């Protein structure tokens, strides 16, 4: 199973305050642990929402709203993708998240990623989906 670990935003991440060297090192050590455990698939931080946008679709029309956006807690500051055997395994990994991050006050969401074979779609579409994934992987240079 694959899971997306979402580090929710807060006032500091939205302000674009650079992480301290200690925090950068702590996150690097944590990610190394995930690598050694053979579970890490991807991890990245996001720029503050001031560099982003929301596209709202209504009645088939798209409207672009430039960032920044209020409600920092509903935004995402970064993500980590892992492969694990169970949700519990991921919960245990997340409980060891560096407490330097957010001064020990952070919210982290764990979500299971859907796999192609779990969806109720035709074999033809599943095949297309597999091809799309192979191509995306090639684009990532893996």
Partner 1 sequence: MRFMVMVKHLENDPNMPEPDEEMFASMARYNEELVKAGVLLAGEGLHPSDQGALVTFRDGVPTVTDGPFAEGKELVGGYWLLEVKSREEVLEWVKRIPADAAVTSRVEVRQVLSDDD
Integer Cα distance of 123 and 133 in angstroms = 15
Q: Is residue 85 involved in binding partner 1 (CB under 8 A)?
A: no
| Nearest one of 76, 102, 71 to 6, comparing CA atoms | 76
12 forms part of the interface with partner 1 (CB under 8 A): no
By CB under 8 A, is residue 56 in contact with partner 1?
yes
Q: Tell me the pairing of strands 2-8 and 53-58.
A: unpaired
Min separation Cβ 90 and partner 1, Å: 8
Which DSSP helix (H) or strand (E) runs through 26? helix 21-36
Report if residue 75 touches partner 1, rule: CB under 8 A: yes
For residue 35, state whether it binds partner 1 (rule: CB under 8 A). no
| Residue 6 phi, psi dihedral angles, 5° rounding | -110, 115
- If binding is defined by CB under 8 A, does position 107 make contact with partner 1? yes
Query: What tokens were used for 134?
Result: 């192979």
Q: If binding is defined by CB under 8 A, does position 113 make contact with partner 1? A: yes
Closest CB to partner 1 among 37 and 109? 109
Residue 109 in the binding site for partner 1 (CB under 8 A): yes
CB 52 within 8 A of CB 67: yes
State whether the Cα torsion 120-122-128-130 is positive or negative: positive
Interface ranges with partner 1 (CB under 8 A): 2-4, 6, 42, 44-47, 49, 51-60, 62, 64, 69, 74-76, 79, 87, 90-91, 94-95, 97, 99, 102, 104-114, 119-122, 125, 128-129, 132-133, 135-136, 139-140
């Amino acid at each position: 199973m694959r899971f997306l670990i979402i580090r929710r935003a807060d006032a500091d991440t939205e302000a674009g305050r650079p992480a301290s060297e200690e925090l950068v090192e702590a996150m690097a050590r944590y990610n190394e642990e995930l690598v050694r455990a053979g579970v890490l698939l991807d991890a990245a931080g996001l720029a503050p929402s001031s560099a982003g946008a929301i596209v709202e679709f209504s009645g088939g029309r798209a409207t672009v709203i430039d960032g920044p956006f209020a409600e920092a807690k509903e935004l995402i500051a970064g993500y980590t993708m892992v492969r694990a055997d169970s949700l519990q395994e991921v919960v245990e990994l997340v409980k060891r998240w560096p407490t330097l991050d957010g001064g020990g006050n952070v919210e982290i969401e764990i979500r299971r990623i859907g796999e192609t074979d779990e969806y109720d779609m035709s074999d033809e579409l599943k095949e297309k989906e597999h091809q799309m994934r192979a191509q995306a992987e090639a684009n990532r240079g893996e």
